[in-house]
Chain A
Amino acid sequence: METFLGFDALILARVQFAFTVAFHFIFPAFSIGLASYLAVLNGMFLWTKDEAYLRLFKFWLKIFAISFAMGVVSGLVMSYQFGTNWSVFSDRTGPVLGPLMAYEVLTAFFLEAGFLGIMLFGREKVGHGLHMFACVMVAGGTAVSATWILSVNSWMHTPQGFSINEVGQFVPENWWEIVFNPSFPYRLAHTLTAAYLTTAFVVGGVGAWHLLHGRHDNRGVRTMFSMAMWMIVVTAPLQIILGHEHGLNTYEYQPTKVLAMEGHFESQEDGIPLVLFGIPDQEAGELRYSIEIPRIGGPILNKGWDASLAGLDTVPDELEPPVAVVFWSFRIMVGIGLLMLGVGLWGLWSRWKGRLYEAPWLHRAALVMGPSGFVAMIAGWITTEVGRQPFVVYGEMFTAEAVSAIAAPAVGASLIAFIVIYFAVFGAGVIYLLRLMAHPPEKGETGPESEPGPIRSAGLTGKSPETGEPGPEPHPAE
């Protein structure tokens, strides 16, 4: 077989997909949360007429514009990756998955993109009411988009409602069963909540940074930190419950994945232990140096204290996922989730004590945890996607069958191009985002429509922006 630097086209295509989709996932996850936050801020401003909300709206809107653009361009890549690298998959699953993705484009992408211009630049042109409508449409679009694509993804984990035709294509028989496949509601709830929680930590982290820099009197800073801490204390425990429910659903439909997550190499007869840590050795089929709590694993899986369990030793080797990856990524996700809960409770405690804005250690913790949602999300995703290997459509189609008959050098060269360009371009984007975040939300904050230099609000009637100063560019050294 033709190889590129010793790798065959299959592994290169897998790395390429994992890389491009993981990079992409960061931006929409943030956009989903931020779009809703912006709609809330704008709504609060219109309702209370409190300038602090408008200030925050404009502050986060500039950040949203950059993050959204990165999401769009990295997402465009995804819609063609199926064909370039996974053409057998495309041919066979296209009849089922294609229409769902077409619905995603028609119901969500156009909605977001169509109203984004008005949300960013149109307040002066269309008035507060229609501008608010545009904000809600963008926020709704991001959530609808997540709904469709997670239905697609869930179907690949728990496929149903299809038959297979004479050329091997999955033919849709029942669309209701396809869209609402068994893992979809759990995955949707868990992933959307992850997006909101992740965004809450980013907002909280930015607020904490400004509080640590002595900006206690900035009402924008106080408001954003307070809103973020409320959001965290509500969504962090909710997310743990949803994650647990999702896990039970996975155990029902993809038990092998849960066995890998929990490190259960060996079958159990009398009580299932809960594995805290250990070093998975898949070759030997055992968990080395494991630290376990006896019997607790049963109740966690909705079984009895003395339940039995069929371990990975009952699964043929060729149907096992790479256990170590799943085992560790699951632990990273859960660990971060517990820390998030801790920060949420700490914030509640400080608030109760009336010291929410004067608690430097809480602020330090919130700052450090600022990007933790992204790590947890990627880790969770690795858990679920690696955990369903070696299948791409669980139980129906192997990943190895799905790849295009394409030359390894073509995949390898494009993989290198993706890695270099993504790090350069999105690295620059992250620097710009951090710069915007480092500058506090000031009174009279300018929005994207009145940035220095550009005339973002093209057209006839735009009133001149409210401030005379060019928008300050914070120094990176600040």
Chain B
Amino acid sequence: MDITTIWAFLLAFAVFTYVVLDGFDLGLGILYPFFPKKEDRDLMMNSVAPVWDGNETWLILGGGGLFAAFPLAYAIILPALYPPIIAMLLALVFRGVAFEFRWRAVRPWTQVLWDRAFIGGSVVAALAQGITLGALLQGIEVDGRAYGGGWWDWLTPFTILTGLSVVAGYGLLGACWLNIKVEGEIQKRVRHWTRIFAFLTVGGIAAVSAATPFLDAGYFERWYGWPNILWVAPVPVLVGVLIFSLAKSIMWHGIDWLPFVLALALFLLCFVGLGISMWPYIIPTEITIHQAAAPRSSQVFMLVGAAILIPIILGYTAYAYWVFRGKLDPNEGYH
């Protein structure tokens, strides 16, 4: 495997880790409207208060890694997705400060305001990320070494579909996370919303999977051509198995962490499916990872650091999660 391919996998790893970690934490904001009681909301926010900041850092690594390893792709994708990217950044501003400001608001109306900032920020960020994904899949117009289209090209029914699917998926991850962190009466309500968001997520996956092969003949060939179909068939089959297991785990009260793990596995398979569709392009079907790659001297310099530091980062991130493990006590901290 050459170093550019290694970097493509590393970047994919960073993006997936971001989805794993920040997905559920954005999902809490998506679930907020369905948990209007203040004590429920306090509990939900406290379930991620010590870790949300680290979760969001993976998004910076995703952006920074793309800039460093594939500068040409960074320089084309971001202008092409200008409005959704800016919307996502501003949404994350609202959402991030809500974690701190919510506790500082003295008057009830300002508290309501920051709750809404948290909801709006989470939903818009998730929607923008889904739209970005869809826009990348449907293709970006390239002119030389720059974006060649208009500033609304990204907006199509397909990108709206991917946007809404990601909102549903993050909502599912958020609900599964809460299922681990809470107990008692609120857990019952969490499980109810887990089922609803699981249903929406599965619908989203089905719709996006059905639409993708028709975006481009290359995608169709990759999924339905012979003999490719033999190689890629395990993906949809496994997705089916996972959906079935997830349904089982959330219909009957079982191990609390199982739905979360199954939902993540489902996300992983969708991610693999995405990789199968796009490979070897970083901007389908214009620019391959090798065309966008930074010079070898850049890639080598970074790879040394990444190889040493990423395991350390995963280590202390896991430690932070371990310190704050277990069910939340809704009475703790109240006086």
In-complex Cβ contact of B82 among A72, A125, A414 (8 A): A414
Docked CA distance A159–B145 (Å) = 23
On whether the beta carbons of B305 and A122 are closer than 8 Å, the reply is no
Interface residues of A in 414-450 (CB under 8 A from B): 414, 417-418, 421-422, 425-426, 428-429, 432, 435-436, 449-450
Chain B: CB-nearest residue to A411: B82
Given the known A-B contacts A105-B61, A106-B309, are A94 and B101 also in contact in the complex, defined by CB atoms under 8 Å? no
Scan B301-330; emit 1 where CB is below 8 A from any A CB, else 0.
Answer: 110011001100100110110011111111
Docked CA distance A417–B85 (Å) = 13
Given the known A-B contacts A121-B50, A454-B103, are A410 and B328 also in contact in the complex, defined by CB atoms under 8 Å? no
On whether the beta carbons of B323 and A125 are closer than 8 Å, the reply is yes
B146 at the interface (CB under 8 A from A): yes
Provide the residues of chain B in CB contact with A421, threshold 8 Å: 90, 93-94
B63 at the interface (CB under 8 A from A): yes
A464 at the interface (CB under 8 A from B): yes
In-complex Cβ contact of B49 among A72, A436, A456 (8 A): A456
A404 at the interface (CB under 8 A from B): yes
* Stretch of B65-73, B157-165, B209-217, B225-233 that contacts chain A: B65-73
Chain A: CB-nearest residue to B303: A99
Given the known A-B contacts A90-B74, A98-B294, A458-B328, are A74 and B93 also in contact in the complex, defined by CB atoms under 8 Å? yes
Docked CA distance A428–B96 (Å) = 13
In-complex Cβ contact of B85 among A74, A84, A435 (8 A): A84
Interface residues of A in 103-121 (CB under 8 A from B): 103-107, 109-118, 120-121
Docked CA distance A422–B90 (Å) = 9
B206 at the interface (CB under 8 A from A): no
On whether the beta carbons of B101 and A66 are closer than 8 Å, the reply is yes
Provide the residues of chain A in CB contact with B181, threshold 8 Å: 458
On whether the beta carbons of A115 and B316 are closer than 8 Å, the reply is yes
On whether the beta carbons of A94 and B74 are closer than 8 Å, the reply is yes
A435 to chain B, nearest CB (A): 7
Provide the residues of chain B in CB contact with A103, threshold 8 Å: 302, 305
A407 at the interface (CB under 8 A from B): yes
Given the known A-B contacts A114-B316, A454-B103, are A87 and B294 also in contact in the complex, defined by CB atoms under 8 Å? no
On whether the beta carbons of B302 and A102 are closer than 8 Å, the reply is yes
In-complex Cβ contact of A117 among B50, B59, B150, B302 (8 A): B50
In-complex Cβ contact of B295 among A110, A117, A169 (8 A): A169
Interface residues of B in 67-122 (CB under 8 A from A): 67-69, 71-72, 74-79, 82-83, 85-86, 89-90, 92-97, 99-104, 106, 110, 117
On whether the beta carbons of B71 and A91 are closer than 8 Å, the reply is yes
A429 to chain B, nearest CB (A): 6
A234 at the interface (CB under 8 A from B): no
* Stretch of A170-178, A207-215, A332-340 that contacts chain B: A170-178
On whether the beta carbons of B335 and A468 are closer than 8 Å, the reply is yes
On whether the beta carbons of B78 and A80 are closer than 8 Å, the reply is yes
On whether the beta carbons of B71 and A429 are closer than 8 Å, the reply is no
B54 at the interface (CB under 8 A from A): yes
B261 at the interface (CB under 8 A from A): no
Given the known A-B contacts A102-B68, A102-B305, are A117 and B294 also in contact in the complex, defined by CB atoms under 8 Å? no
B255 to chain A, nearest CB (A): 18
On whether the beta carbons of A122 and B63 are closer than 8 Å, the reply is no
Docked CA distance A459–B335 (Å) = 17
A75 to chain B, nearest CB (A): 8
In-complex Cβ contact of A83 among B61, B63, B96, B102 (8 A): B63
In-complex Cβ contact of A73 among B38, B71, B97 (8 A): B97
On whether the beta carbons of A450 and B75 are closer than 8 Å, the reply is no
Provide the residues of chain A in CB contact with B77, threshold 8 Å: 83
Most interface-central of B117, B150, B329 (chain A CB within 10 A): B329
Given the known A-B contacts A72-B56, A110-B317, are A80 and B89 also in contact in the complex, defined by CB atoms under 8 Å? yes
Docked CA distance A186–B198 (Å) = 55
* Stretch of B40-48, B244-252, B269-277 that contacts chain A: B40-48
Provide the residues of chain A in CB contact with B101, threshold 8 Å: 66, 428-429, 432
Docked CA distance A70–B53 (Å) = 11
B36 at the interface (CB under 8 A from A): no
B329 to chain A, nearest CB (A): 7
Provide the residues of chain B in CB contact with A315, threshold 8 Å: none
Docked CA distance A368–B82 (Å) = 42
Interface residues of A in 47-106 (CB under 8 A from B): 65-66, 68-70, 72-77, 79-80, 82-84, 87-88, 90-99, 101-106
Chain A: CB-nearest residue to B50: A117
In-complex Cβ contact of A114 among B92, B310, B313 (8 A): B313
Interface residues of A in 213-272 (CB under 8 A from B): none
A165 at the interface (CB under 8 A from B): yes
Docked CA distance A460–B327 (Å) = 7
On whether the beta carbons of A126 and B301 are closer than 8 Å, the reply is no
Provide the residues of chain A in CB contact with B254, threshold 8 Å: none
Docked CA distance A79–B62 (Å) = 10
Provide the residues of chain B in CB contact with A169, threshold 8 Å: 71, 295
A311 to chain B, nearest CB (A): 39
Docked CA distance A458–B327 (Å) = 8
Most interface-central of A75, A455, A457 (chain B CB within 10 A): A455
Provide the residues of chain A in CB contact with B83, threshold 8 Å: 410, 414
A61 to chain B, nearest CB (A): 12
Given the known A-B contacts A405-B147, A410-B151, A454-B46, are A464 and B332 also in contact in the complex, defined by CB atoms under 8 Å? yes
A71 to chain B, nearest CB (A): 10
Provide the residues of chain A in CB contact with B297, threshold 8 Å: 95, 171-173, 175
Docked CA distance A353–B325 (Å) = 54
In-complex Cβ contact of B75 among A66, A76, A90 (8 A): A90
On whether the beta carbons of A83 and B78 are closer than 8 Å, the reply is yes
Docked CA distance A188–B234 (Å) = 53
Given the known A-B contacts A410-B82, A468-B335, A470-B335, are A99 and B309 also in contact in the complex, defined by CB atoms under 8 Å? no
A167 at the interface (CB under 8 A from B): yes
B156 at the interface (CB under 8 A from A): no
Given the known A-B contacts A114-B54, A114-B313, A455-B42, are A98 and B49 also in contact in the complex, defined by CB atoms under 8 Å? no
On whether the beta carbons of A459 and B326 are closer than 8 Å, the reply is yes
On whether the beta carbons of A94 and B68 are closer than 8 Å, the reply is yes
In-complex Cβ contact of A172 among B76, B295, B317 (8 A): B295
Provide the residues of chain A in CB contact with B43, threshold 8 Å: 455
Known: A76-B96, A80-B89, A87-B79. 13 other contacts (CB 8 A): A83-B66, A90-B71, A114-B54, A121-B50, A172-B301, A175-B301, A414-B83, A425-B94, A453-B334, A454-B42, A456-B50, A458-B50, A464-B332
Can you sample 8 A-B contacts with CB below 8 Å?
Answer: A90-B74, A90-B75, A114-B316, A118-B50, A417-B90, A449-B333, A454-B333, A457-B332
A residues with CB within 8 A of B: 65-66, 68-70, 72-77, 79-80, 82-84, 87-88, 90-99, 101-107, 109-118, 120-122, 125-126, 165, 167, 169, 171-173, 175, 404-407, 409-410, 414, 417-418, 421-422, 425-426, 428-429, 432, 435-436, 449-460, 462, 464-465, 468-470, 473, 476
9 shortest interchain CB distances as A-B pairs? A94-B71, A98-B68, A117-B50, A83-B78, A455-B333, A73-B96, A91-B75, A87-B75, A113-B54
